[in-house]
Chains A and B, each alone.
Chain A
Amino acid sequence: MNGVNQQYVCMNSMNEGCQSGADLSEAPPVRERPTIGELFKVFLTAGAISFGGGVVAYLRQYLVKVHRWLDDDDFLDALEVSETLPGLNSVNMSVIVGDRMRGAFGAAVAVIGLMLPGMVVMMTLGVLWDQQRHDVNLNHFLVGVAASAVGLLLTVTLQLGHKQFVRPLDLVLMAVTFVAVSVFKVALGWVLLVVGPAAIWLYRPHGAVETAERFAHLRDRFHSHRSHWRH
């Protein structure tokens, strides 16, 4: 994951002059902690302008590049935790970053800031939709949006899973999960309770998978040139 940094090395020495968006490894050390007000402002902005689901990308831009409250490794570490824990990645990121900057209160402020603009817009759209929901044009528009969202979701899934899609064991776990939920309609709770511990057991420290991988040096080379898929 941290291979992202090595993929694009910006040639400009000044960060401001760099357009690649991935010069983060060269950013100067993290600055002092923001105040609660600054924290709120930044998350509110990210929440207001992040259309189309790329909230995490906007957070990265603001937190790492613009304000430098975190370096890129910190950000990616936090993202990994966010992806493992239940909940939306963007919301989890806000909790983790807010907590790190200003404790539990900071976490609350970050989450509220992130969600507030979307909540207002969402409720406005929801009420309007509720009044007009039998309108044929509106229905057609929303079908088109949903169809396009399928392409978007598939892109995000492929990018997020670029490491998993090349490992046979991960593909099996992925397929088992998908088939259980989408084909056999098993309740999600049961899938998580059964497949989750089984998967963690397979990847346990000093287990067969881990030991085998220690000798598979070739794979690492393969990953390092695929890792630019991620962001």
Chain B
Amino acid sequence: MSKIFNLAWVFGLLSILAVGGGTAVLPEMQRMTVDQYHWVTAKQFRDIYSLGQVAPGPNMLMVMVIGYRVAGYLGATVVAFAFFIPDCIITLFANRMWLRFADSPWRLAVQRGMAPIAIGLMLSGTYSIAQLSIHNWLSLGIAAATLSVLMWRRVNPLLLISVAGILYMLLGPNPVTAIRSIP
């Protein structure tokens, strides 16, 4: 029961801290779920994150799988509510207030002040996933190739991601090295 309570508390907190979206909160999520509560290992965290990339809709629905690992379907449900409901309520009321202050100069100050912080946090989130996944030239090449292709033209990311997964499956290091190089 205390596990369920902790899940609700951790993901409720992460929900409120998610300024800049899901990516921005990834380092904190990893810190809490991996280092602090040991619900998943770093490797499992990375794998669950990858599953979120393959599913439709918001990628951060992957938090449900963390909940599932900890406490089955109940855990998944609790995490989904804890991670999404607080933000929805905040947004509902903050947006209504926002519209009332449409002409306030402070509104612009908040927007412009928070924007670079959100971008910095997204970079941190990207860095976290990079640390978990880029361990050799092949994975580095995959990341660089994805970036280049997407900068060059609009491609469905799912296509790139699937190709990347299959590529790594075929060309990745043999199991012995894999175990040694992945924390």
Question: B-contacting residues of A (Cβ < 8 Å)?
Answer: 47-55, 78, 80-92, 95-96, 99, 104, 107-108, 111, 114-115, 117-119, 121-123, 125-127, 129-130, 133, 136-137, 139-158, 160-161, 163-165, 167, 169-171, 173-178, 181-182, 185, 187-189, 191-192, 195-196, 199-207, 210
Contact = CB atoms under 8 A, between A and B. Distances in A.
Q: Please give me the 8 A-B residue pairs with the lowest Cβ-Cβ distance, nearest first.
A: A118-B57, A144-B168, A151-B146, A87-B87, A52-B157, A177-B120, A148-B164, A205-B105
Given A118-B55, A145-B54, A146-B49, A88 B87 contact: yes
A108 B169 CA distance: 40
B91 A95 contact: yes
Interface size band for B: 35 or more
Contacts of B110: 84, 200
A175 to B, nearest CB: 7
Given A122-B52, A143-B139, A203 B65 contact: no
Contacts of B150: 151-152, 155
Interface in B17-35: 17-23, 25, 27-28, 31
B28 to A, nearest CB: 4
Chain A interface mostly: helix
Nearest to A114: B57
A90 B88 CA distance: 11
Contacts of B126: 150, 153-154, 157
Contact of A115 (B17, B57, B111, B168): B57
B168 to A, nearest CB: 3
A149 B106 contact: no
Interface of B: 13, 15-23, 25, 27-28, 31, 43-44, 46-62, 64-65, 68-69, 73, 76, 80, 84, 87-88, 90-92, 94-96, 98, 105-106, 108-130, 132-134, 138-140, 142-151, 156-169, 172, 175, 178, 182
B165 A151 contact: no
A177 B105 contact: no
Given A95-B88, A118-B58, A86 B95 contact: no
B95 A126 contact: no
Chain B interface mostly: helix
Contacts, number: 367
Contact of B22 (A48, A88, A104): A88
A31 B121 CA distance: 38
A178 B125 CA distance: 9
Given A84-B111, A147-B168, A174 B51 contact: no
22 contacts: A50-B57, A52-B160, A53-B157, A83-B118, A87-B84, A87-B90, A87-B91, A88-B84, A91-B91, A119-B64, A121-B56, A123-B65, A129-B48, A133-B44, A144-B139, A144-B169, A147-B139, A148-B143, A148-B146, A171-B116, A177-B124, A182-B27
Contacts of A125: 51, 54-55, 65
Given A148-B53, A155-B151, 4 more contacts: A118-B57, A151-B160, A189-B17, A196-B113
